[in-house]
Amino acid sequence: MDWIVPMEPILTTVIPEGDNFIHQVKWDGIRGLCYVEKGQVHVFTKKGRERTGFYPKLNELPLLLKCNDAILDGEIIILNDEMRPSFQLSLIRERVTSLSKVDYYAKQYPVQYIVFDLLSIDGKKITHMPLAERSTLLKENLDTSATITITDDFKYGSQLFDLMKEKGWEGIVSKDASSPYLPGKKHQHWYKRKISRRILAVVAGLTLKEGRPNSLVLAIQKREGLVFIGKASIGLNQDNIRLLEKSIPELTIHESPLKTPKNADYIASDKTLKELKDVVWLYPVLTVWISFLERTDDGGLRHPKITGFTSLSPKAADGTEFID
């Protein structure tokens, strides 16, 4: 079977509405295209990296299909202890490079495959067909199991988005039911609306590039003191840089203000030690709003972005998360 470039939703802040749109949960995992042919399953990521054999649970696909061959598009997810899809756990599975370790990781981090499209059936490519027709064929030709299921369609995007906010999930995808399956983002048919989270953080230090502020070292207040939650550089504008340059002489201190609590969500790793190398430590009085996708399992922030400095007290940076 020939490689089909995956269709990708376009990021939006406005949920498209109308009878021609259906809305789906945006599953937070690893995009997985499964090529099923002659009883064999070949698994590929969005970028075409083959992962056949690394997700043995997907080998039951031929038993669930009512056709001989098919190309399926979906998301490989792992649920955390709160029964919420965890991108961090999915990355652990995706980073396994030795087939000899697959059994161990498959038991520790069991996956589910959420199918949302059918691209080919019995050797016939159907990407030119409307999504509604492909979805009908998908439901007619794929039985589901505890591991493999078909994503649900919802009529009202705003209601689904509000539900995702309540659950703390990633967001939603809105799709034009009349759309063909097109490569990449060269279309105006699929859109994704992500949940935005933000947290107030203390600026514990910064790194320099060519003598100018380049990224912020972020921390929050815990009972035992300031705890590191990551670094951020995206969103650092010229006004911010000028403010920091003005503050550096007055706020610079010689030792880190961070604590390393024994039982806190602290990122204690070689990567962290590298991140905190050559930091200019600051007296912790500056606070900043940070937007992010989710908290990682080791206490950090996924895709942090600086949205603005504040006049709020460092004591207010207590780790409370806000969902917008």
Mean pLDDT of 19-37: 97
Residue 82 confidence class, pLDDT cut points 50, 70, 90 = confident
Mean pLDDT of the chain: 92
Judge whether residue 264 has pLDDT over 80.
no
Judge whether residue 57 has pLDDT over 50.
yes
Q: Token pair of 247, please?
A: 């503050």
Mean pLDDT of 118-125: 97
Q: Mean pLDDT lowest for which of 111-115, 199-203, 276-280, 308-312? A: 276-280
Q: Mean pLDDT lowest for which of 108-117, 191-200, 258-267? A: 258-267
Residue 278 confidence class, pLDDT cut points 50, 70, 90 = confident
Q: What is the pTM of this model?
A: 0.82
Largest CA distance in the chain: 71
Of the chain, the percentage scoring pLDDT greater than 90 comes to: 82
Distance (Å, whole) CA 192 – CA 215: 28
Residue 293 confidence class, pLDDT cut points 50, 70, 90 = confident
Judge whether residue 300 has pLDDT over 80.
yes
Domains belonging to the chain, first-starting first, are: 10-194 (3.30.470.30), 197-323 (2.40.50.140)
pLDDT for res 275: 64
Q: Which long-range contacts (CB under 8 A, 24 or more apart) does 121-130 make?
A: 121/67, 121/69, 121/70, 122/67, 122/68, 122/69, 122/70, 123/1, 123/69, 125/2, 125/4, 127/4, 127/180, 127/181, 127/182, 128/180, 128/181, 129/180, 130/177, 130/178, 130/179, 130/180
Which carries the bigger pLDDT value, residue 324 or residue 127?
127
